[in-house]
């Protein structure tokens, strides 16, 4: 991907997503039933800020003003979080588990479109796997203890994905150059349908792992 | 300080204070007028979690159950934050600036009462000085731009200190062994009045640095 403006857009989108994820998870940590779990979600939130800083500093190196670069993406991400405010601890965990999982899969796909050092940077801001293990284990054991939960939480996960897709479409519509570049890059490597299929398959597998239906 | 139970109490108090500071600063970051400042306060919040983890892991090494050890301190700290909810960005900054400043001075005093490795640990969880510089510079330039602010913000800082002292007295009253140990250790090195005088003098100097009256 040799279009510097689109790279700036992409890194700015990822950066603002991290900042917003920090905000959301830090708030959601209050839903934790005990201090150990609260600390764990707080730590997951804190990790987003470390990644945010790396992306922000890369934006500056590329000559972009980070705030200005992020601004076009703030509304879609704020709306996503506002539409998917978790009401309890399990909803918060699933939001982190599903959201981080899809985000990481997307980052890995996107990294392959980029040249160094951006490729390396995007691979390095992936989430620590022990966070997914923690969230997954919490969800699994909650469903084991109360199988009725599976239905409600599966619906919640579908709502998260639906709202995420709808905001992603909005971002794509507002940033045709960015959207076109991702589509072109994806088609060079196969096709954009393949990318969506891989993201969907990985998401379905992640859901099944913790006892949820897609 | 050779009383392991009091050391556990002390580390648990510091640990929970970090966790609660994370929560408060992460929320306060929403008051920031722009993304750069929001990211900075978010990063200050995230740093608290790193320190929290170190204290929590030391508690576990000492054979304490971290959650149980922190529980006796949760109410006083929650009440402090509830009574001092910042209403705008400047109040949030002053809370971080004044609170981190007093906390660090207190940690430094307390470290001298402890044996290694706890002494070293407490010195290492001090706040990064660039955060105080950021907050101080923000407050200074806000007052320079609008001198009327100084009065309102000075009153706010006094309220923070007043509320902090009142919760500290409550903690001391509920934990006489911890309070006695701090008093005894302080008296070994001079006296407890000296400790309060040093904390007060450093606080007054910090206030003056940014244009506030104590």
Got the DSSP string for B87-138? SSHHHHHHHHHHHHHHHHHHHHHHHTTSPTTHHHHHHHTSPPHHHHHHHHHH
DSSP string, A113-128: TSPTTHHHHHHHTSPP
Q: What is the pLDDT of residue B187?
A: 75
Q: A107 versus B85: which is more confidently predicted?
A: B85
Is the residue at B91 inside a domain? yes
| Interchain pair B49, A45: CB under 8 A | yes
Residues 6+ apart with CB under 8 A from B110: B10, B122, B182
In this predicted structure, the answer to whether residue A40 has a pLDDT above a threshold of 60 is yes
- What is the percent of chain A where pLDDT is above 90? 73
* CA dist., res. B169 & res. A214, Å (int): 53
CATH of the domain at A157: 1.20.1260.10
Q: How far is A209 from chain B (nearest CA, A)?
A: 29
Contacts of B39 in chain A (CB under 8 A): 19, 49, 52-53, 56
Q: A135: pLDDT confidence band, cut at 50, 70 and 90?
A: very high
Side-chain-side CA neighbours of A170 within 13 Å: the count stands at 16
HSE, CB side, 13 Å, CA atoms: give it for residue A83: 17
B155-172 pLDDT, tens per residue? 999 999 999 999 998 998
Residue A71 lies in a domain: yes
Asked if the structure places residue B14 within a domain, the reply is: yes
Instruction: Nearest by CB to A46, from B27, B38, B49: name it.
Output: B49
Of B31 and A197, the one with more pLDDT: B31
Q: Which two tokens stand for residue B2?
A: 């050779």
Contact between residue B99 and residue B164 where contact means Cβ atoms under 8 Å apart: yes
Tell me how long chain B is.
214
| Predicted confidence (pLDDT) at residue B1 exceeds the cutoff of 60 | no
Average pLDDT over residues A81-95: 96
**A29: which chain B residues are within 8 Å (Cβ-Cβ)?**
23
Residue A1 binned pLDDT confidence (cut-offs 50, 70, 90): very low
Among A29, A42, A49, the residue with its CB nearest the CB of B42 is A49
Number of domains composing chain A = 1
Distance from CA of A195 to the nearest CA of B (A): 32
B3 pLDDT more than 80: no
The burial class, CB within 10 Å (0-12 / 13-18 / 19+), for A19 is buried
Q: Tell me: pLDDT of B58 over 60.
A: yes
Per-residue pLDDT band at A179 (split at 50, 70, 90): confident
pLDDT digits (tens, 9 = 90+) for B99-108: 999 999 988 9
Contacts of B69 (CB under 8 A, 6+ apart): B8, B9, B11, B12, B15, B59
How many cross-chain Cβ pairs, A to B, lie less than 8 Å apart? 75
Instruction: Examine residue A214 and state whether it is found in any structural domain, yes or no.
Output: no
Region A75-90: mean pLDDT is: 95
Please indicate, yes or no, if residue B128 is contained in any of the structural domains: yes
Residue A2 to residue A4: CA distance in whole angstroms:
6
**Helical (H) or strand (E) element with B170:** helix B149-174
Using 50, 70 and 90 to split pLDDT, how confident is the model at A178?
confident
Write phi, then psi, for B17 (nearest 5 degrees): -60, -40
**pLDDT at residue B72, as a whole number:** 94
A60 shares contact with chain B (CB less than 8 Å): no
B45 in contact with chain A, both atoms CB, cutoff 8 A: yes
Instruction: Give A3's pLDDT tier (boundaries 50, 70, 90).
Output: low
ipTM over cut 0.95: no
Q: Do A23 and B22 make contact, defined as CB atoms within 8 angstroms?
A: no
Q: Which domain holds residue B98?
A: 4-209
* CA distances for B168 relative to A105, B64, B164, angstroms: 48, 23, 6
Please give the mean pLDDT across all residues of chain B. Answer: 92
Query: What integer pLDDT is reported at residue A177 of this predicted model?
Result: 80
Nearest to A46 among B35, B50, B67 (CB): B50
In a domain, B214, yes or no: no
Is A19–B27 a contact, with Cβ atoms under 8 angstroms apart? Answer: no
Give contacts of A47 with chain B, Cβ < 8 Å.
Answer: 46
* CB burial of residue A56 (10 Å; 0-12, 13-18, 19+): buried
Instruction: Establish if B157 belongs to a structural domain.
Output: yes
* DSSP percent split of chain B into helix, strand, coil, nearest 5: 85, 0, 15
Under 8 Å between Cβ of B92 and B31: yes
Does A70 touch chain B if contact means CB atoms closer than 8 Å?
yes
Residue among B132, B100, B26, B135 at smallest CA distance from A48: B26
Position A72 confidence tier, pLDDT thresholds 50, 70, 90: very high
What is the sign of the dihedral through the CA atoms of B97, B100, B103 and B109? Answer: negative
H/E element, A169: helix A149-174
The mean per-residue pLDDT over the stretch A100-104 comes to 91
Angle at alpha carbon of residue B193, lines to B189 and B198, rounded to 5°: 80
Task: Express each pLDDT in B74-129 by its tens digit.
Answer: 999 999 999 999 999 999 999 999 999 999 998 898 888 889 999 999 999 988 88
Say yes or no to pLDDT of A81 above 70: yes
What residues of chain A, 10 to 29, have a C-beta less than 8 Å from chain B?
16, 19, 22-23, 26-27, 29
Whole-angstrom Cα distance, residue A55 to residue A78? 19
Using a CB-CB distance cutoff of 8 angstroms, which residues of chain B are in contact with residue A70? 35
Chain B closest CA to A65's CA: distance in Å? 10
Tell me how crowded residue A24 is: count the other CB atoms within 10 A of its CB. Answer: 25
Of A19, A42, A67, the CB nearest to B22: A42
Distance in Å, alpha carbon of B33 to nearest chain A alpha carbon: 12
- Residue A118 above 50 pLDDT? yes
Structure letter (DSSP) for residue B62: T
> Which sign, positive or negative, has the C-alpha torsion B37, B44, B172, B184?
negative
Query: B26–A45: do the CB atoms touch at under 8 Å?
Result: yes
A30 vs B: CB within 8 A: yes
A106 touches chain B (CB under 8 A): no
Q: Is B114 left (phi over 0), alpha (psi -120 to 50) or beta?
A: beta
| Closest chain A CA to residue B67 | A35
Q: How confident is the model at residue A42 (pLDDT cuts 50, 70, 90)?
A: very high
CB atoms within 10 A of CB B9: 22
**A68 touches B: beta carbon within 8 Å:** no
Rounded mean pLDDT, A172-185:
83
Shortest distance between the Cα of B26 and any Cα of chain A, in A, equals: 6
């Amino acid at each position: 991907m040799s279009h510097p403006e689109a790279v700036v857009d992409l890194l700015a989108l990822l950066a603002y997503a991290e900042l917003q994820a920090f905000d959301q998870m830090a708030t959601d940590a209050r839903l934790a039933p005990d201090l150990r779990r609260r600390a764990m979600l707080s730590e997951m939130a804190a990790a987003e800020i470390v990644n945010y800083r790396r992306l922000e500093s890369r934006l500056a190196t590329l000559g972009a003003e980070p705030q200005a670069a992020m601004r076009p993406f703030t509304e879609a991400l704020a709306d996503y979080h506002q539409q998917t405010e978790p009401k309890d601890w399990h909803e918060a965990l699933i939001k982190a588990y599903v959201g981080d999982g899809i985000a990481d899969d997307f980052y890995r796909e996107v990294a392959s479109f980029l040249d160094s050092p951006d490729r390396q940077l995007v691979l390095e801001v992936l989430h620590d796997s022990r966070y997914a293990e923690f969230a997954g284990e919490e969800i699994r054991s909650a469903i084991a203890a109360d199988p009725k939960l599976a239905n409600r939480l599966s619906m919640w996960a579908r709502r998260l994905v639906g709202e995420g897709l709808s905001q992603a479409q909005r971002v794509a519509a507002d940033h045709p150059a960015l959207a076109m570049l991702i589509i072109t890059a994806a088609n060079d490597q196969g096709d954009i349908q393949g990318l969506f299929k891989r993201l969907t398959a990985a998401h379905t597998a992640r859901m099944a792992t913790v006892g949820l239906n897609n």
